[in-house]
């Protein structure tokens, strides 16, 4: 006999996908919830349980047989998250935050915690911030470095950003003396960006990790799911896109979050949901290459015969610079390849400008060397670990 | 011949939907460091690797012995392994397998693509295991990469991203690509190279594919690539996921599809990284949904440990489900990371030395793909 199960997210919860699972493990519903929101799902049994797919990758299973009205809060989850181990929070206030993390796994857990306790940025802070002894970082708006602050005994650099989403993308530049430099495109709707360097104790190598949050946490959650390949969870977020795309484009004017929604719809081939938003994104926000890429790909996927328009928008994208999102760079390169000789010059220019691309980053992350770089000097394995932070 | 199953080209079914596979494993690079041939003018810091000679046969073996998709059964398997070897495979028996030179990869690719394109309901399955270079595109290195007798140093190099794009011209509407590449070349060296490669196939803007899923291993050191003389960590994750860790219950059938596989491989790699303390990640790029396989039963990648190193060192952890008992004594490596049956498990965490308070055994529901616990000390 089926029943109605009401699932509510307490106001302190981040946007996340919840799977509603029958006792035989069949997923009977997959819904997106955000703080203060509820959903009703018809379930086959009162023994149905929930799985909350947290934006930072951990999954929490909640069993409460017989309860058909379940409220999920941070407190509900905290006792079940292995990343919330007792005493872990104190690390941020202790010397431990200035120690090298032992592995990428440990580093990710550290950043999930750091996202809950971000430092204030005092006025008059530095423009160039050290990343331990391994390099330094600058966050650039055009050519102008933005002030930030250094914490964890100069191992971490933090920036708060207040420019708003109608600004061109920022660039986070991580430089290492005599060695390759890394550039990460940062969406201008970011409100906090931080970078950190660690010598990973468990395996030879240095990790430069970057985390950021934006003013649209649901978009951050989508990018987190996409980065991990969790398309089912990302798919559940299409409801947010349907509700907010128009708002993001026209009222709040956040082309970055709008682009994230459009990339997901493109991936899922939901062209009916996309409508003409990508064209508006391309035409209205000239500082953003991604809109042109999305619109050109909507035309390609819908088998438009208007090859000239596809070509024009792809070329226009290359003229605006590298896309902010790695998905955009991948699609731009693929689109130019498909157009063949007609766009060969633009493709060559783009790949030359991109240099080495760190493809597992959700943001376009490229590595460049100076002309006088001596390649033999750069033999230590380097990991660039870029992700959206979890607001958990 | 690189066709390991069926026995002949004439025996390949092309008038029904089928999965056609091309599996390439390159462990022997004569022109890279430690190779038997003349050394490349610039070997890019690359040397011999052992894991592909085990990984490619493991993938081909899974296809021949375990792949199950009633709507699209196995149609053919092309396998190239360097060094060439005599291999024993399910269905195929013992037979010689040719090495993966560029010419052979190209010839095999052409045959594979021709089979795949015979029907839109075919599945194209491509797995590469060996050295790779990644710039703005992913390049794969066949056995004869770096041959100093070849004036164009990039002639023996395959442009994988170009190939994936070119496969849009292939009629098979579900296309699966696994790039299990060891990418050792430092960023600083890569940035100065103008890498090019042969995409093997081209497409135009009017070509399309319903489902194209690429799963990339993203390890950057040989240590993180795989255990010496074993299967790569990425392939271990792929095989676990195909065997049921990525299974979704759809009307009682445990279906692995392109979406579930992408999410599960990433989670399994995270737990393997935790277990082996290595920088293991996966970068899935999935566009479109396609059913891959029907697993026999649901499996779970369980990672069970305490939440602090001190507690892990002191703990005895016992997982049990019916007659199955998995135990890790104090001082043994934790977390326990193991593929197990899905279902209700009892997890008992004890501290024989009394360092932490005793925990009563707890029942946990282990559901695919991954269980990570437990939230005690």
- Of the candidates A304, A226, A209, which has an alpha carbon nearest to the alpha carbon of residue A262? A226
Residues of A with CB below 8 A from B298's CB?
Answer: 25
A123-126: long-range contacts (C-beta < 8 A, 24 or more apart)? A125/A149, A126/A150
Identify the residue whose tokens are 């599809």. Answer: B257
Q: How many CB atoms lie within 10 A of CB A144?
A: 10
Among the partner-chain residues B220, B252, B286, the one whose CB lies closest to the CB of A381 is B220
Q: Could you tell me which chain B residue has the CA closest to the CA of A301?
A: B208
How far B109 CA lies from chain A's nearest CA (Å)? 20
Report the number of secondary-structure helices (H) and strands (E) in chain B: 8, 21
For chain A, the residue count is: 392
What is the C-alpha separation between A114 and A98, in angstroms, rounded? Answer: 12
Whether the Cβ atoms of residue A226 and residue A267 lie closer than 8 Å to each other = yes
What is the C-alpha separation between B349 and A175, in angstroms, rounded? Answer: 46
Q: Which of A83, A356, A380 to mutate to test the interface with B (most CBs of B within 10 A)?
A: A356
Residues of B with CB below 8 A from A81's CB?
Answer: 375
Whether the Cβ atoms of residue A72 and residue A11 lie closer than 8 Å to each other = no
| pLDDT value for A391 | 47
CB-based contact A228 B248, cutoff 8 Å: no
What is the C-alpha separation between B211 and A273, in angstroms, rounded? Answer: 19
Q: Which positions ≥6 away from A50 have C-beta within 8 Å?
A: A7, A18, A19, A20, A21, A61, A62, A70, A72
How far B163 CA lies from chain A's nearest CA (Å)? 11
What is the C-alpha separation between A250 and A239, in angstroms, rounded? Answer: 18
Residues of A with CB below 8 A from B286's CB?
Answer: 229, 231, 267
**B373 and chain A: CB distance < 8 Å anywhere?**
yes
Q: Which of A78, A228, A266, A362 to mutate to test the interface with B (most CBs of B within 10 A)?
A: A228
CB-based contact A85 B308, cutoff 8 Å: yes
Helices (H), B11-83: 52-65
DSSP for A5-53 reads EEEEE-TTPPPEEEEEE-TTS-EEEEEEE-TT-EEEEEES-TT-EEEEE
Tokens coding B235: 């392939």
Whether the Cβ atoms of residue A192 and residue A163 lie closer than 8 Å to each other = no
ipTM beyond cut 0.95: no
Q: Beta partners for A137?
A: A129, A174
**What is the rounded average pLDDT for all residues in chain B?**
94
Rounded alpha-carbon distances, angstroms, from residue B136 to A332, B190, B322: 11, 10, 51
Q: What is the 3-state secondary structure (H, E, C) of B127-139?
A: EEEEEEEECCCEE
Residues of A with CB below 8 A from B181's CB?
Answer: none
Three-state SS at A261: helix
Look at strands A382-388 and A206-214 and give their pairing.
parallel
Residues of B with CB below 8 A from A203's CB?
Answer: 221, 223-224, 277-279
pLDDT tens-digit map of A192-203: 999 999 998 777
How far B164 CA lies from chain A's nearest CA (Å)? 9
CB-based contact A337 B165, cutoff 8 Å: yes
Residues of B with CB below 8 A from A380's CB?
Answer: 186
Among the partner-chain residues B203, B207, B283, the one whose CB lies closest to the CB of A360 is B283
What is the C-alpha separation between B226 and B234, in angstroms, rounded? Answer: 8
Whether the Cβ atoms of residue A320 and residue A287 lie closer than 8 Å to each other = yes
**B322 and chain A: CB distance < 8 Å anywhere?**
no
Q: Which positions ≥6 away from B205 have C-beta within 8 Å?
A: A300, A307, A310, A335, A338, A339
Residues of A with CB below 8 A from B359's CB?
Answer: none
Whether the Cβ atoms of residue B187 and residue A378 lie closer than 8 Å to each other = yes
Q: How many CB atoms lie within 10 A of CB A190?
A: 24
What is the C-alpha separation between A195 and A212, in angstroms, rounded? Answer: 9
CB-based contact B165 A230, cutoff 8 Å: no
Burial annotation B168-190 (CB, 10 A radius, 16+ → b, else e): bbbebbbbbbbbbbbbbbbbbbb
Segments of chain A scoring below 50 in pLDDT? 86, 377, 391-392
**B285 and chain A: CB distance < 8 Å anywhere?**
yes
Whether the Cβ atoms of residue A308 and residue A282 lie closer than 8 Å to each other = no
Burial of B107 (0-12, 13-18, 19+ CB in 10 A): middle
- Of the candidates A341, A172, A373, A345, which has an alpha carbon nearest to the alpha carbon of residue B193? A373
What is the C-alpha separation between B216 and B285, in angstroms, rounded? Answer: 8
Q: Which of B46, B165, B176, B188 to mutate to test the interface with A (most CBs of A within 10 A)?
A: B188
What is the C-alpha separation between B3 and B6, in angstroms, rounded? Answer: 7
A-facing residues of B in 115-154 (CB < 8 A) are 134-138
Q: How many CB atoms lie within 10 A of CB A342?
A: 16
Look at strands B174-182 and B123-134 and give their pairing.
parallel
How far A345 CA lies from chain B's nearest CA (Å)? 15
Residues of B with CB below 8 A from A267's CB?
Answer: 286-287
Segments of chain B scoring below 50 in pLDDT? none
How far A150 CA lies from chain B's nearest CA (Å)? 26
Angle made by CA atoms B170, B173, B174, in degrees to the nearest 5: 110
Among the partner-chain residues B208, B277, B365, the one whose CB lies closest to the CB of A303 is B208
How far B11 CA lies from chain A's nearest CA (Å)? 35
> How many residue contacts between A and B have a Cβ separation below 8 Å?
189
What is the C-alpha separation between A149 and A127, in angstroms, rounded? Answer: 8
Residues of A with CB below 8 A from B246's CB?
Answer: none
pLDDT tens-digit map of B152-194: 999 999 999 999 999 999 999 999 999 999 888 888 788 888 8
| pLDDT value for A1 | 67
Among the partner-chain residues A80, A207, A307, the one whose CB lies closest to the CB of B375 is A80
Q: How many CB atoms lie within 10 A of CB B145?
A: 30
- Of the candidates A98, A210, A89, which has an alpha carbon nearest to the alpha carbon of residue B307? A89
Among the partner-chain residues A87, A229, A301, the one whose CB lies closest to the CB of B266 is A229
| pLDDT value for A63 | 85
| pLDDT value for A92 | 57
CB-based contact B373 A82, cutoff 8 Å: yes
Q: Which of B33, B132, B136, B161 to mutate to test the interface with A (most CBs of A within 10 A)?
A: B136
**B283 and chain A: CB distance < 8 Å anywhere?**
yes
Residues of A with CB below 8 A from B280's CB?
Answer: 104
CB-based contact A360 B281, cutoff 8 Å: yes
Rounded alpha-carbon distances, angstroms, from residue B121 to A5, B53, B71, B118, B124: 39, 31, 9, 9, 10
Q: How many CB atoms lie within 10 A of CB A301?
A: 15
Residues of B with CB below 8 A from A75's CB?
Answer: none
What is the C-alpha separation between B193 and B311, in angstroms, rounded? Answer: 48
What is the C-alpha separation between A55 and A116, in angstroms, rounded? Answer: 13
Q: Could you tell me which chain A residue has the CA closest to the CA of B194?
A: A352
Q: Is the dihedral of CA A115, A194, A147, A89 positive or negative?
A: positive
- Of the candidates B265, B6, B26, B47, which has an alpha carbon nearest to the alpha carbon of residue B156? B26
Reading phi first (left if > 0) and then psi (alpha if -120 to 50, else beta), residue A142 is in left
Residues of A with CB below 8 A from B284's CB?
Answer: 228-229
> Is the peptide bond between A191 and the residue preceding it cis, with omega within 30 degrees of 0?
no
What is the C-alpha separation between B169 and B81, in angstroms, rounded? Answer: 27
Q: How many CB atoms lie within 10 A of CB B33?
A: 14
Burial of B151 (0-12, 13-18, 19+ CB in 10 A): exposed
Whether the Cβ atoms of residue B181 and residue B225 lie closer than 8 Å to each other = no
């Amino acid at each position: 006999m089926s029943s109605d199960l009401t699932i509510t997210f307490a106001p302190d919860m981040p946007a996340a996908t919840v799977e509603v699972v029958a006792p035989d493990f069949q997923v009977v519903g997959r819904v997106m919830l955000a703080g203060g929101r509820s959903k009703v799902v018809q379930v086959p049994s009162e023994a149905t349980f929930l799985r909350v797919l947290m934006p930072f990758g951990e999954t929490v299973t909640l069993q409460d047989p017989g309860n058909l009205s379940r409220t999920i809060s941070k407190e509900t989850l905290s006792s079940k998250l292995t990343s919330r181990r007792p005493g872990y929070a104190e690390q941020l206030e202790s010397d431990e935050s200035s120690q090298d993390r032992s592995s990428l796994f440990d580093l990710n857990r550290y950043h999930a915690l750091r996202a809950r306790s971000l430092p204030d940025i005092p006025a008059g802070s530095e423009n160039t911030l050290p990343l331990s002894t391994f390099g330094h970082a600058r966050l650039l708006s055009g050519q102008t470095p933005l002030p930030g602050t250094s914490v964890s005994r100069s191992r971490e650099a933090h920036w708060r950003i207040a420019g708003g989403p109608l600004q061109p993308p920022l660039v986070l530049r991580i430089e290492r003396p005599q060695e390759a430099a890394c550039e990460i495109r940062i969406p201008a709707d970011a409100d906090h960006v931080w970078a950190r360097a660690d010598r990973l104790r468990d395996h030879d190598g240095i990790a430069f990790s970057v985390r950021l949050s934006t003013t649209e946490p649901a978009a951050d959650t989508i990018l987190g799911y996409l980065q991990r390949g969790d398309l089912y969870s990302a798919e559940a977020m299409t409801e947010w896109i349907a509700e907010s795309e128009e708002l993001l484009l026209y009222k709040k004017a956040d082309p970055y979050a709008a682009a994230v929604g459009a990339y997901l719809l493109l991936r899922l081939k939901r062209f009916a949901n996309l409508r003409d938003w990508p064209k508006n994104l391309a035409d209205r926000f000239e500082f953003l290459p991604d809109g042109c890429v999305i619109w050109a790909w909507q035309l390609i996927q819908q088998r438009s015969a208007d090859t000239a328009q596809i070509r024009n928008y792809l070329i226009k994208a290359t003229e605006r610079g590298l896309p902010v999102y790695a998905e955009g760079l991948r699609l731009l390169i693929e689109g130019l390849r498909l157009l063949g000789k007609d766009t060969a010059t633009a493709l060559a220019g783009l790949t030359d400008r991109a240099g080495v691309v760190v493809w597992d980053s959700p943001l376009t992350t490229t590595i460049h060397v100076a002309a006088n770089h001596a390649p033999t000097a750069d033999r230590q394995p380097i990991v660039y670990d870029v992700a959206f932070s979890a607001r958990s | 011949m690189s066709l390991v199953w069926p026995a002949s080209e004439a025996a390949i079914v092309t008038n029904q939907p089928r999965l056609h596979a091309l599996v390439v494993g390159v462990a022997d690079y004569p022109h890279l460091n430690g190779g038997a041939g003349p050394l490349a003018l610039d070997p890019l810091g690359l040397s011999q690797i052992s894991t592909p000679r085990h990984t490619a046969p493991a993938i081909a073996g899974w296809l021949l012995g375990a792949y199950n998709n009633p709507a699209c059964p196995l149609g053919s398997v092309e396998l190239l392994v360097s060094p060439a070897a005599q291999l024993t495979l399910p269905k195929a028996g013992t037979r010689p397998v040719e090495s993966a030179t560029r010419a052979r990869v190209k010839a095999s690719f052409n045959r594979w693509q021709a089979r795949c394109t015979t029907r839109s309901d075919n599945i194209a399955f491509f797995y590469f295991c060996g050295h790779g270079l990644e710039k703005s595109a992913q390049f794969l290195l066949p056995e004869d990469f770096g041959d100093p007798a070849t004036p164009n140093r990039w002639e023996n190099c395959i442009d994988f991203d170009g190939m994936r794009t070119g496969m849009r011209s292939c009629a098979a509407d579900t296309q699966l690509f696994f790039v299990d590449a060891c990418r050792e070349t430092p960023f600083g060296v890569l940035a100065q190279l103008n890498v090019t490669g042969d995409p093997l196939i081209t497409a135009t803007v009017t070509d399309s594919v319903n489902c194209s899923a690429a799963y990339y291993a993203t390890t950057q050191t040989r240590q993180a690539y795989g255990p010496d003389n074993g299967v790569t960590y990425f392939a271990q994750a792929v095989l676990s996921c195909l065997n049921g860790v990525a299974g979704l219950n759809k009307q009682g059938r445990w279906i692995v599809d392109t979406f579930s596989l992408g999410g599960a491989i990433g989670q399994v790699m995270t737990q393997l990284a935790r277990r082996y303390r290595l920088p293991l990640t996966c970068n899935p790029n999935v566009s479109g949904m396609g059913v891959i396989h029907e697993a026999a039963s649901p499996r779970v990648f369980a990672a069970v440990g305490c939440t602090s190193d001190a507690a892990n060192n002191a703990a005895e952890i016992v997982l049990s489900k019916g007659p199955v008992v998995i135990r890790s004594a104090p001082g043994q490596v934790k977390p326990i990371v193991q593929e197990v049956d899905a279902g209700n498990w009892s997890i008992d965490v004890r501290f024989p030395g009394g360092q932490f308070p005793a925990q009563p055994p707890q029942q946990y529901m282990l559901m695919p793909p991954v269980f990570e616990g437990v939230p005690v000390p």
